[in-house]
Structure 1
Amino acid sequence: MTYYTTITPDSDGVDIAIVPITSPGGGVVKIFPEDLMIIEAMGYSMNWHESVCKYRYVRTKKLGGNNEIVTVARLILSAEYLGGRIKHIDGNNHNLRRDNIIHIPSKWHRAMKTANQDQEKQ
Protein backbone atom coordinates (compact mmCIF):
# COMPACT_ATOMS: atom_id res chain seq x y z
CA MET A 1 0.00 0.00 0.00
CA THR A 2 1.29 3.50 -0.81
CA TYR A 3 0.84 6.37 1.60
CA TYR A 4 0.87 9.77 -0.04
CA THR A 5 2.23 12.89 1.53
CA THR A 6 1.65 16.43 0.38
CA ILE A 7 4.05 19.35 0.71
CA THR A 8 2.26 22.61 1.45
CA PRO A 9 2.96 25.90 3.23
CA ASP A 10 1.91 25.97 6.90
CA SER A 11 0.11 28.97 8.41
CA ASP A 12 3.48 30.70 8.95
CA GLY A 13 4.54 30.14 5.31
CA VAL A 14 7.08 27.39 6.10
CA ASP A 15 6.80 24.27 3.93
CA ILE A 16 5.54 21.18 5.74
CA ALA A 17 4.71 17.63 4.73
CA ILE A 18 1.22 16.34 5.50
CA VAL A 19 1.29 12.62 6.37
CA PRO A 20 -1.93 10.59 6.79
CA ILE A 21 -2.53 8.57 9.96
CA THR A 22 -3.73 5.13 8.98
CA SER A 23 -5.31 4.02 12.27
CA PRO A 24 -9.05 4.29 12.93
CA GLY A 25 -9.99 7.90 13.41
CA GLY A 26 -7.38 8.91 10.89
CA GLY A 27 -6.25 12.47 10.66
CA VAL A 28 -3.00 13.89 9.40
CA VAL A 29 0.37 14.83 10.84
CA LYS A 30 2.41 17.84 9.87
CA ILE A 31 6.19 17.50 9.80
CA PHE A 32 9.09 19.29 8.13
CA PRO A 33 9.90 17.60 4.78
CA GLU A 34 13.56 17.14 5.72
CA ASP A 35 12.60 15.24 8.90
CA LEU A 36 10.25 13.04 6.89
CA MET A 37 13.04 12.22 4.41
CA ILE A 38 15.42 11.29 7.26
CA ILE A 39 12.85 8.98 8.88
CA GLU A 40 12.20 7.32 5.54
CA ALA A 41 15.95 6.96 4.86
CA MET A 42 16.40 5.34 8.29
CA GLY A 43 14.09 2.56 7.10
CA TYR A 44 10.93 3.39 9.03
CA SER A 45 7.46 2.74 7.62
CA MET A 46 5.35 5.58 6.31
CA ASN A 47 2.32 3.69 7.67
CA TRP A 48 1.86 5.88 10.74
CA HIS A 49 -0.79 5.28 13.35
CA GLU A 50 -1.86 6.81 16.64
CA SER A 51 -1.63 4.99 19.94
CA VAL A 52 -4.81 4.51 21.89
CA CYS A 53 -3.34 4.49 25.39
CA LYS A 54 -3.43 7.23 28.04
CA TYR A 55 -0.80 9.30 26.21
CA ARG A 56 -1.71 9.74 22.55
CA TYR A 57 1.20 9.79 20.14
CA VAL A 58 1.95 9.02 16.52
CA ARG A 59 4.14 5.97 16.00
CA THR A 60 5.69 3.84 13.29
CA LYS A 61 7.88 0.77 12.99
CA LYS A 62 11.15 -0.16 11.36
CA LEU A 63 10.76 -2.02 8.07
CA GLY A 64 12.46 -5.37 7.60
CA GLY A 65 13.71 -5.39 11.14
CA ASN A 66 12.45 -6.53 14.48
CA ASN A 67 9.17 -4.60 14.12
CA GLU A 68 10.41 -2.12 16.72
CA ILE A 69 7.66 0.46 17.32
CA VAL A 70 8.82 3.99 18.03
CA THR A 71 7.16 7.37 18.28
CA VAL A 72 7.77 9.65 15.32
CA ALA A 73 8.48 12.60 17.65
CA ARG A 74 11.33 10.65 19.29
CA LEU A 75 12.80 9.88 15.86
CA ILE A 76 12.72 13.56 14.95
CA LEU A 77 14.51 14.53 18.16
CA SER A 78 16.91 11.55 18.02
CA ALA A 79 15.50 10.55 21.42
CA GLU A 80 14.18 7.10 20.56
CA TYR A 81 16.27 5.40 23.27
CA LEU A 82 16.00 8.08 25.94
CA GLY A 83 13.49 8.05 28.76
CA GLY A 84 11.51 11.09 29.74
CA ARG A 85 8.61 12.73 27.99
CA ILE A 86 8.04 14.34 24.64
CA LYS A 87 5.94 17.49 24.87
CA HIS A 88 4.14 19.30 22.07
CA ILE A 89 4.41 23.02 22.69
CA ASP A 90 1.01 23.78 21.16
CA GLY A 91 -0.61 20.68 22.74
CA ASN A 92 -1.35 19.13 19.32
CA ASN A 93 0.26 15.68 19.08
CA HIS A 94 -0.28 15.73 15.31
CA ASN A 95 1.98 18.76 14.95
CA LEU A 96 5.38 17.09 14.62
CA ARG A 97 7.22 20.14 13.40
CA ARG A 98 10.65 20.09 15.03
CA ASP A 99 10.01 23.57 16.46
CA ASN A 100 6.89 22.26 18.26
CA ILE A 101 8.33 19.25 20.12
CA ILE A 102 10.74 19.05 23.03
CA HIS A 103 12.26 16.19 25.02
CA ILE A 104 12.02 16.54 28.79
CA PRO A 105 14.32 14.16 30.70
CA SER A 106 12.63 12.05 33.40
CA LYS A 107 14.18 13.82 36.36
CA TRP A 108 13.10 17.24 35.02
CA HIS A 109 9.60 15.94 34.34
CA ARG A 110 9.31 14.59 37.90
CA ALA A 111 10.60 17.88 39.34
CA MET A 112 8.12 19.92 37.27
CA LYS A 113 5.26 17.60 38.26
CA THR A 114 6.17 17.94 41.97
CA ALA A 115 6.42 21.74 41.67
CA ASN A 116 3.00 21.90 39.99
CA GLN A 117 1.45 19.71 42.70
CA ASP A 118 3.00 21.90 45.44
CA GLN A 119 1.68 25.01 43.73
CA GLU A 120 -1.84 23.52 43.49
CA LYS A 121 -1.82 22.84 47.25
CA GLN A 122 -1.22 26.52 48.02
Structure 2
Amino acid sequence: MSKNIMRTPEEKEKLVLEMINNGYGFHTMSKKHDISKSVLSKWYYSYKEKGIEGLKSNTGKHKSLSTGLHLKKPKNKIEELELELMKKDIEIARLKKGYMVKGVGAEKEFVTTFDKNTK
Protein backbone atom coordinates (compact mmCIF):
# COMPACT_ATOMS: atom_id res chain seq x y z
CA MET A 1 0.00 0.00 0.00
CA SER A 2 1.23 3.47 -0.80
CA LYS A 3 1.57 5.65 2.24
CA ASN A 4 0.70 9.27 3.03
CA ILE A 5 -0.15 10.42 -0.48
CA MET A 6 -2.23 13.58 -0.20
CA ARG A 7 -4.95 13.52 -2.83
CA THR A 8 -7.11 16.44 -3.87
CA PRO A 9 -10.86 16.24 -3.35
CA GLU A 10 -11.22 15.94 -7.14
CA GLU A 11 -8.92 12.90 -7.23
CA LYS A 12 -10.84 11.31 -4.37
CA GLU A 13 -14.14 12.02 -6.14
CA LYS A 14 -12.83 10.45 -9.34
CA LEU A 15 -11.91 7.26 -7.46
CA VAL A 16 -15.25 7.13 -5.62
CA LEU A 17 -17.21 7.67 -8.85
CA GLU A 18 -15.17 4.97 -10.59
CA MET A 19 -16.10 2.61 -7.79
CA ILE A 20 -19.80 3.55 -7.98
CA ASN A 21 -20.13 3.60 -11.78
CA ASN A 22 -18.30 0.31 -12.33
CA GLY A 23 -19.81 -1.46 -9.35
CA TYR A 24 -16.40 -2.15 -7.82
CA GLY A 25 -16.13 -3.03 -4.15
CA PHE A 26 -13.64 -1.63 -1.69
CA HIS A 27 -11.40 -4.69 -2.06
CA THR A 28 -11.23 -4.41 -5.87
CA MET A 29 -10.51 -0.67 -5.81
CA SER A 30 -7.98 -1.18 -3.04
CA LYS A 31 -6.00 -3.64 -5.14
CA LYS A 32 -6.40 -1.66 -8.37
CA HIS A 33 -5.19 1.70 -7.01
CA ASP A 34 -3.05 0.53 -4.08
CA ILE A 35 -5.17 2.40 -1.52
CA SER A 36 -6.29 1.10 1.86
CA LYS A 37 -9.83 -0.28 2.00
CA SER A 38 -10.54 1.75 5.12
CA VAL A 39 -9.48 4.97 3.36
CA LEU A 40 -11.70 4.17 0.38
CA SER A 41 -14.56 3.37 2.71
CA LYS A 42 -14.15 6.69 4.53
CA TRP A 43 -14.07 8.59 1.22
CA TYR A 44 -17.10 6.70 -0.10
CA TYR A 45 -19.32 7.41 2.90
CA SER A 46 -18.10 11.01 3.20
CA TYR A 47 -18.92 11.54 -0.47
CA LYS A 48 -22.35 9.93 -0.11
CA GLU A 49 -23.15 12.12 2.89
CA LYS A 50 -21.64 15.51 1.94
CA GLY A 51 -20.57 15.32 -1.71
CA ILE A 52 -17.19 16.70 -2.71
CA GLU A 53 -17.16 18.90 0.43
CA GLY A 54 -16.89 15.72 2.49
CA LEU A 55 -13.69 14.79 0.67
CA LYS A 56 -11.81 17.94 1.64
CA SER A 57 -9.03 17.41 4.16
CA ASN A 58 -9.40 19.08 7.54
CA THR A 59 -5.87 18.31 8.65
CA GLY A 60 -4.42 21.24 10.56
CA LYS A 61 -7.54 23.34 10.15
CA HIS A 62 -9.32 22.71 13.43
CA LYS A 63 -9.89 25.77 15.51
CA SER A 64 -9.86 25.60 19.26
CA LEU A 65 -12.54 27.29 21.28
CA SER A 66 -10.05 29.86 22.49
CA THR A 67 -8.82 30.92 19.04
CA GLY A 68 -8.72 34.69 18.86
CA LEU A 69 -10.29 35.37 22.23
CA HIS A 70 -8.68 38.79 22.34
CA LEU A 71 -10.14 39.58 18.89
CA LYS A 72 -13.67 38.38 19.56
CA LYS A 73 -16.17 41.12 20.32
CA PRO A 74 -19.07 39.98 22.52
CA LYS A 75 -22.51 40.78 21.12
CA ASN A 76 -24.40 40.82 24.39
CA LYS A 77 -23.90 40.54 28.16
CA ILE A 78 -24.11 36.72 28.15
CA GLU A 79 -21.41 36.38 25.49
CA GLU A 80 -19.27 38.90 27.34
CA LEU A 81 -19.53 36.87 30.54
CA GLU A 82 -18.87 33.58 28.71
CA LEU A 83 -15.75 35.09 27.12
CA GLU A 84 -14.52 36.33 30.49
CA LEU A 85 -15.16 32.91 32.05
CA MET A 86 -13.26 31.16 29.25
CA LYS A 87 -10.29 33.48 29.73
CA LYS A 88 -10.29 32.78 33.48
CA ASP A 89 -10.48 29.01 32.86
CA ILE A 90 -7.46 29.24 30.56
CA GLU A 91 -5.56 31.29 33.13
CA ILE A 92 -6.34 28.75 35.88
CA ALA A 93 -5.21 25.86 33.67
CA ARG A 94 -1.93 27.65 32.93
CA LEU A 95 -1.32 28.36 36.61
CA LYS A 96 -1.94 24.70 37.45
CA LYS A 97 0.64 23.73 34.83
CA GLY A 98 3.08 26.19 36.32
CA TYR A 99 3.37 29.04 33.86
CA MET A 100 1.94 32.45 33.04
CA VAL A 101 1.81 34.42 29.82
CA LYS A 102 3.24 37.92 29.74
CA GLY A 103 2.74 40.16 26.74
CA VAL A 104 0.75 39.60 23.56
CA GLY A 105 1.43 38.73 19.94
CA ALA A 106 5.11 38.58 18.99
CA GLU A 107 6.02 39.87 22.46
CA LYS A 108 4.32 36.90 24.18
CA GLU A 109 6.51 35.23 26.79
CA PHE A 110 5.77 32.11 28.86
CA VAL A 111 7.11 32.48 32.39
CA THR A 112 7.25 29.61 34.89
CA THR A 113 5.66 30.28 38.24
CA PHE A 114 7.63 27.68 40.19
CA ASP A 115 11.11 28.21 41.57
CA LYS A 116 13.71 25.97 40.01
CA ASN A 117 15.01 25.03 43.46
CA THR A 118 12.04 23.70 45.42
CA LYS A 119 14.05 22.45 48.43
| Bigger radius of gyration among the two | 2
Common topology (TM > 0.5): no
Q: Between Structure 1 and Structure 2, which shows a larger proportion of strand residues?
A: 1
TM-score by length of 2: 0.24
Q: Between Structure 1 and Structure 2, which shows a larger proportion of helix residues?
A: 2
Higher relative contact order (CA 8 A, sep 6+): 1
